[in-house]
Chain A
């Protein structure tokens, strides 16, 4: 196996004339082909900056990002475009991520027009395949985002991301805006597509349950640094770093005890 994406000692510092903020502090990750990596951490921990550096949307202050062996920072515009054809991106808020004035088929056609030479009937066929892949009826082609539910919009978002047959899919909180029953449909869909197409996933998520479900490996970020990494099953079952332990403890699930017990026992011990 070889790494599809690797970063080594990646540093990104945002600077303004008055202050600077280190968003990524020597981050090293290796993402093997066909694996699924979960990136967890609170707001401002550097998750999105990491993804933007991988895509070449931000120029790192230090360290390097390699995509399939090639240094992203040294790529020409043409090479960057060729790389981005191999990457799909699914956003958090499916309704807002789509252009409200574009129909479903126009939204899906856009990346195909930019990245492929498909036109006319071939383009229509590719749009049809993309809709089939996410189980949306062909009748939805002419609908606008406001005529679809949140779950259907996210299916369009996934169809759009996968239309060009990328190898790497970046998922930024793909289900956090969805209801649980719809979340289950989308997670099942992503699992199926990953197997069928041998995709590599990088998923940003707050939900440890979703990470446990969809990711093989996980990195936990805090203030721009990776504080813990390993297989998702191990890290989430037996977190070592204090921050990860807090994160795991803080996630309310239907299996966990009522917080009232925590409150009562704390009050008892403080008495």
Chain B
């Protein structure tokens, strides 16, 4: 899929939470991700599977008690070993993020224009008219034509859909190479959500950035992504082209997710029995084994790595090829 060197490569990322020197949890247990240039990668999984914290590790915004090991290479430069000062240079510039809830992501007491100016001042040293011109251009890119009104508005004066457009404009101010979208449409009405997804794809096409899209909505993945990585309990259990993974899922967990959707046909929904483990420290073997319809004895001893089932489709299941 990606012949050119990947823009972002995450290799064996592990994140541990510690409390006074003791490891209390390990929410990410060896995540592998790769995003090519101009590629849209979806990261899906359920609450607590490690999606957002992986994004935090890529941005360098992990909480203080978290410790990340492994490799995160962005544009050929290993990020985890960089000092915070150097990572802050990229954040909001070459790597940018759009958060889930536009209503709470902005500072409520500053006008939106001023919040956008802070980005340009910090990363480009721009002020005054030069900054205003760029902000106005980005706002009209996202379909907000009354730029003066938007810049003078406080967050509470705009609707959720408009605010999400402002956040996308703000994330694009410094022309990022990688845009992280953390559940960008979950808080929006469906018709507005569709407009936002179309907007993101149109801008991605025009400006040529890569996208890491975090979502729990498989419909959104199908609508927008080139490739998808499915996370379960802090590991990627399946990855490949979005079409192939959703149409012919190979991992029992992905199969369960697709089967649990209330689709066109009626009848009882298939649900996945059991729950995600509350803490990932004590996991032996495959984390999904206890909930899996196909588990065999070996599953409880060996935690499988991703293995190819086709040239582009990989699955972390010792029975992955046969299911």
Is the pair A183, B223 in contact by a Cβ cutoff of 8 Å?
no
Count of A-B contacts with CB under 8 A?
107
Q: In the complex, which range does the number of interface residues on chain B fall in?
A: 35 or more
Nearest Cβ on chain B to A53's Cβ, whole angstroms:
22
Among B223, B256, B264, B272, contact of A259 (Cβ-Cβ < 8 Å): B223
> Known contacts A181-B272, A255-B264; is A42 also within 8 Å of B219 by CB?
no
Is the pair A254, B262 in contact by a Cβ cutoff of 8 Å?
no
Stretch at the interface among B74-82, B109-117, B189-197: B189-197
Stretch at the interface among A27-35, A121-129, A160-168, A204-212: A204-212
Q: Is B3 interfacial (CB 8 A cutoff)?
A: no
- Closest residue of chain A to B205, judged by CB? A263
Stretch at the interface among A3-11, A85-93, A105-113, A244-252: A244-252
Q: How far is the CA of A194 from the CA of B288 in the complex (A)?
A: 32
Is the pair B220, A212 in contact by a Cβ cutoff of 8 Å?
no
Q: How far is the CA of A255 from the CA of B218 in the complex (A)?
A: 10
Q: Which residues of A contact B198 (CB under 8 A)?
A: 259, 262-263
Is the pair B189, A42 in contact by a Cβ cutoff of 8 Å?
yes
Q: Which residues of A contact B242 (CB under 8 A)?
A: 258
Interface residues in B33-75 by Cβ distance below 8 A to A read: 46-47
Q: Count of chain A residues with Cβ under 8 Å from any Cβ of B?
A: 36
Among A149, A184, A213, A252, contact of B197 (Cβ-Cβ < 8 Å): A252
Is the pair B47, A181 in contact by a Cβ cutoff of 8 Å?
no
Is the pair B262, A256 in contact by a Cβ cutoff of 8 Å?
no
Q: How far is the CA of A256 from the CA of B223 in the complex (A)?
A: 7
Is the pair B202, A263 in contact by a Cβ cutoff of 8 Å?
yes
Is the pair B269, A187 in contact by a Cβ cutoff of 8 Å?
yes
- Closest residue of chain B to A250, judged by CB? B194
Q: Is B141 interfacial (CB 8 A cutoff)?
A: no
Q: How far is the CA of A182 from the CA of B276 in the complex (A)?
A: 11
Q: How far is the CA of A254 from the CA of B271 in the complex (A)?
A: 17
> Known contacts A263-B198, A263-B201; is A209 also within 8 Å of B261 by CB?
yes
Nearest Cβ on chain A to B200's Cβ, whole angstroms:
9
Q: Which residues of B contact A20 (CB under 8 A)?
A: none
Q: Which residues of A contact B216 (CB under 8 A)?
A: 179-180
Q: How far is the CA of A210 from the CA of B221 in the complex (A)?
A: 19
Q: How far is the CA of A203 from the CA of B234 in the complex (A)?
A: 35
Chain B interface SS verdict (over half): helix
Q: How far is the CA of A157 from the CA of B202 in the complex (A)?
A: 42
Is the pair A180, B257 in contact by a Cβ cutoff of 8 Å?
yes
Interface residues in B249-265 by Cβ distance below 8 A to A read: 256-258, 260-264
Among A179, A191, A258, contact of B47 (Cβ-Cβ < 8 Å): A179
Q: How far is the CA of A260 from the CA of B216 in the complex (A)?
A: 20
Q: Which residues of A contact B220 (CB under 8 A)?
A: 252
Nearest Cβ on chain B to A255's Cβ, whole angstroms:
7
Q: How far is the CA of A90 from the CA of B223 in the complex (A)?
A: 31
Q: Which residues of A contact B311 (CB under 8 A)?
A: none
Nearest Cβ on chain A to B291's Cβ, whole angstroms:
9
Is the pair B47, A150 in contact by a Cβ cutoff of 8 Å?
yes
Q: Which residues of B contact A251 (CB under 8 A)?
A: 190, 219
- Closest residue of chain B to A40, judged by CB? B190
Is the pair B191, A247 in contact by a Cβ cutoff of 8 Å?
yes
Q: Which residues of B contact A19 (CB under 8 A)?
A: none
Is the pair B246, A258 in contact by a Cβ cutoff of 8 Å?
no
Q: How far is the CA of A128 from the CA of B236 in the complex (A)?
A: 40
Q: Which residues of A contact B194 (CB under 8 A)?
A: 249-250, 252, 259
Q: Is A269 interfacial (CB 8 A cutoff)?
A: no
The residue among B46, B190, B217, B261 with the most chain A CB atoms within 10 A of its own CB is: B190
Interface residues in B99-141 by Cβ distance below 8 A to A read: none
Is the pair A250, B191 in contact by a Cβ cutoff of 8 Å?
yes
Is the pair B201, A255 in contact by a Cβ cutoff of 8 Å?
no
- Closest residue of chain A to B221, judged by CB? A254
Nearest Cβ on chain B to A44's Cβ, whole angstroms:
9
Q: Which residues of B contact A187 (CB under 8 A)?
A: 262, 269
Nearest Cβ on chain B to A158's Cβ, whole angstroms:
15
Is the pair B47, A213 in contact by a Cβ cutoff of 8 Å?
no
Among A150, A179, A209, contact of B263 (Cβ-Cβ < 8 Å): A209
Is the pair A212, B222 in contact by a Cβ cutoff of 8 Å?
no
Q: How far is the CA of A256 from the CA of B160 in the complex (A)?
A: 25
Is the pair A258, B224 in contact by a Cβ cutoff of 8 Å?
yes
Q: Is A43 interfacial (CB 8 A cutoff)?
A: yes
Question: What are 13 A-B residue pairs whose CB atoms fall within 8 Å in the complex?
Answer: A42-B189, A149-B275, A180-B216, A180-B257, A184-B269, A249-B194, A252-B194, A252-B219, A253-B263, A259-B197, A259-B223, A263-B198, A263-B202
B-side residues, CB < 8 A to A, are: 46-47, 160, 189-194, 197-198, 201-202, 205, 216-224, 242, 246, 256-258, 260-264, 266, 268-272, 275
Closest 10 A/B residue pairs (Cβ): A252-B219, A184-B260, A184-B271, A179-B46, A213-B262, A184-B269, A250-B194, A42-B189, A252-B223, A181-B272
